[in-house]
Each structure stands twice: as structure tokens, then as C-alpha cells.
Amino acid sequence: MDILTPTLEQNPVFGNTASEGSSLFLKWEYEVFKFMEWTGDILPVIFSHEVWNIIKGVLSLVSMFFIAVMIYCAVRMFEIRKKEHEHLHHEIVEYAHKMAEKEKEEMKAKKISGNQEWVSVMNHFLSPDSSDWKMSILEADNMLLELLTQLGFEGEGVGEKLKSADPKKFKKLPIAWEAHTVRNKIAHEGPNFTLSKREAGRIITLYEQIFQEFGFI
């Protein structure tokens, strides 16, 4: 070998580069070999029949769980829809009932005799406004005053005429007093007097009984 041409191993700059490269290659080759060996050991385990059975079992359980959840959601949706339908049906029936009652009251008012004062009483009573209910009672009491005057009872107002009324001639005297008492509360207390639709209807019915007895309406 030429003395002027040093080998790679003897190169003062690179040192033992060939030896180090060879060692790294062998180490890398060894690691690859170990990895392939480990892979060869683990893959048969992963893809074994027992492992796949376990995986399939787990997937089956997960599938059954999601199917159960879907069935539960479907049942709940059906129950909610059913309740909504029942509630809507109830609302429709209740609305129809209210409309039928209102129609009956309107028909009742139309069938009243030609007494226009009583028609006005009923129109105010059928109003949704509570102040109109009070007005219907005030108007009915004015009609009672006319009736008592026609019957010949003495006195200035309804109260005085009722005091002079003959119970044998005027059999509805107790309910006339009851209706007139409510009228006085309305007149004296004004807006402070609370009157429900039910109570207004009861008082109007008392007046109606009195008027019908004497053919006043």
C-alpha cells in the first residue's frame, strides 16, 4: 500500500468511521429483527380465534346497548306524542263545550219575548267584561221596579216596594230581596265590589224567575 495514501480507518479527520457505521448498521438490523420477532409473536395472539370471539362479544354488547337506547327513545317519543294528542283533544273538547254553552246562552237570549230591556240584560250578561255583568244586574233591578209598580206596590224604590209587598201576592219576595241586595252592593261599592260570572248568572236567574212568574218576559 502506498504510504502517501492512508486508509479510511487511519484518516486523522474521520477517525474510525467505517467501524462506527458498521456497528450502527448491525444495531439497526438487530432492532428490526427484534421488532419482526415481536410482531411475529404478537400477531398470532391478536388474530387468534379467542381474541376475535371476545371482540365480537364486546361489539355485540355495544350494538345491543345502542339498539336498546333507540327503542327507549322511540317509546318515549310515542308516549310524548300520545300525551300531546290527548291534551290537544281535551283542549278541543273543552273549547267546543264552551262555544256550545255560549251558543245556548245566545239562543236563550234570542228566544226571549219582545221585552227589549231583558234582551239588553242578557246581552250584558253574555259579555266577557265583568263590568257588563254588573250592568246586567242593575238593568234587571230597574225592570223589577217596573214590575213592582205594575203590581201596585207602594214606595219610591225597589226596597220600599218590597217592604210593602204582600207575600201571598208576591211569592218570589225572598229571592227578590236577595237579588236586590246584590244590586245595592254593586251600586254602593262600585268597582270595589267583586262579582264573578257564576254569581252574576245566579242573580240574573233570580230576576228571571220573578219575571217569568208574572209573564213579564
Range of the domain at 136: 114-213
Close Cβ partners of 121 (under 8 Å, ≥ 6 residues apart): 136, 139, 140, 143, 204, 207
Tell whether pTM > 0.75.
no
Instruction: Name the one residue in this structure whose C-alpha cell is 256550545.
Output: 100
Answer whether residue 161 is part of any domain.
yes
Q: Is residue 136 part of a domain?
A: yes
Give the cell for residue 203: 242573580
Q: Does residue 50 lie in a domain region? A: no
- Determine the pLDDT at residue 113: 53
194, amino acid identity: T
Q: What is the DSSP letter of 113?
A: -
Interval 93-117: pLDDT, tens: 888 778 777 766 666 655 555 688 9
What's the domain count of the chain?
Answer: 1
Would 101 be classed as within a structural domain? no
- Asked whether residue 1 is assigned to any structural domain, the reply reads no
2 domain residue, yes or no: no
- Where the chain has pLDDT below 50, the residues are 1-15
